[in-house]
Structure 1
Amino acid sequence: MPANPETDTFGFIVNDLSRLIRAEMDRRTTEAGLGLTTGEGRVLFNVRRAGPVRQTALAERLGVEAMTLSGLVDRLEAKGFVERQPDPADRRAKLVTLTEAGATVVTKIEPIATAIRSEAAHGIDPDDWQRLLVSLRAARANLIANRAEALAGEDAAA
């Protein structure tokens, strides 16, 4: 694909990479008979990483609306991969917890994700790849900090 200065910018490239990764994950998890969407897989990985987590915090972490997450969790719960449990600190809130079956399916997804990352890094010097990851983490941290500042400013103005 020829370079296009309008679409070879940071935002376009990151969005294209995200779309390509999601499509490839969907294709490979379907081929593997896992019956999961990329969104469902992201929920499982994030619950494993966070441990029992409130649905509201999980939605924020994933960058999705609460209703979108609710649908994902409903489907995962029906498959036996997660459970909703009352939050001992707030009876109105629910904690999403990974089940043993959910942990098993995450271990089946890991090699698929590893292969896709390896293919993405193909032909890139390992040191350059590590620098890219460091730079992307810094860009993410910058945007998170800017968002937090903007939200704090909105709260102060209200």
Structure 2
Amino acid sequence: MLPEEEINSVSDDLFLLVLNLSSRIFNPSAMFKGLPIPPSHTKVLFRLAKIGPCPVSQLANDLIISRPNMTPIIDKLIAEGYADRYDNPNDRRIIMVKLTEKACTLLHDIENKAKSLFMEKLSSLDDKDLTKLKNIVPELNNIILKIK
């Protein structure tokens, strides 16, 4: 294992990376501007897209939202046609939530908008930097996915 000062240095670099990404590449305000639902609701949809149908309590835990606060979010998503609620067939006490086709379409639109914004930002780089980024990003993603 690396010495603590080197781990601290990596931590510092990651912190700067997050700040730079949010200020130069990924602007959440621009990304979620004009959406029919608030960003907090969109996070729930993205989480459901990643893990699939799941209990409301798991969503609340995963997103660090209290269960009482999660209920109105789920209710709004259902009312707007972005999610469906159903009983777990193995335990009817557990309420499950899943995405609808409307939610999948919205998430696809958000992804396309994000990619378009990224393309616009990346167009300012020269070929050498783009090639470096093309090689670094997948490797960085693979490493980050190992973090628990």
Q: Structure 1 residue 44 and structure 2 residue 48: aligned?
A: no
Partners in 1 of 2:60 and 2:75 — Cα distance?
13
Partner of 1:25: 31
User: What root-mean-square deviation, in Å, do the aligned CA atoms of Structure 1 and Structure 2 show?
Assistant: 2.7
Moved more, 117-126 or 41-50: 117-126
Deviations 1:6-59 (A, max 9, x none): xx74224315635753222122xx1xxx31222322322332333322223323
Tell me how far apart the structure 2 counterparts of residues 56 and 126 of structure 1 sit (CA, whole Å).
43
- Give the SS at the match of 1:91: strand
Q: TM-score, normalised by structure 1?
A: 0.64
Partner of 2:136: 131
Query: Is the contact made by 1:121 and 1:129 (CA closer than 8 Å) also made in structure 2?
Result: no
> Counterpart of 2:66?
66
The number of aligned residues is 130
Contact 1:86 1:92 (8 Å CA) reproduced: yes
List gaps (5 residues or longer) in structure 1.
1-7, 145-158
1:134-153 correspondence to structure 2 within 5 Å: 134-142=139-147, 144=148
- Secondary structure of 1:141's counterpart equals coil
User: Cα gap change, 1:140/1:101 in structure 2, threshold over 3 Å: closer, same or farther?
Assistant: closer
Distance 1:109 1:54 in 2: 24
TM-score normalised by L of structure 2: 0.68
> Where in structure 2 are the equivalents of 1:102-113 lying within 5 Å?
102-113=103-114
User: Aligned partners of 2:21, 2:72: CA distance in 1, in Å?
Assistant: 25
Q: Contact between 1:48 and 1:98, CA under 8 Å: does it hold in 2?
A: yes
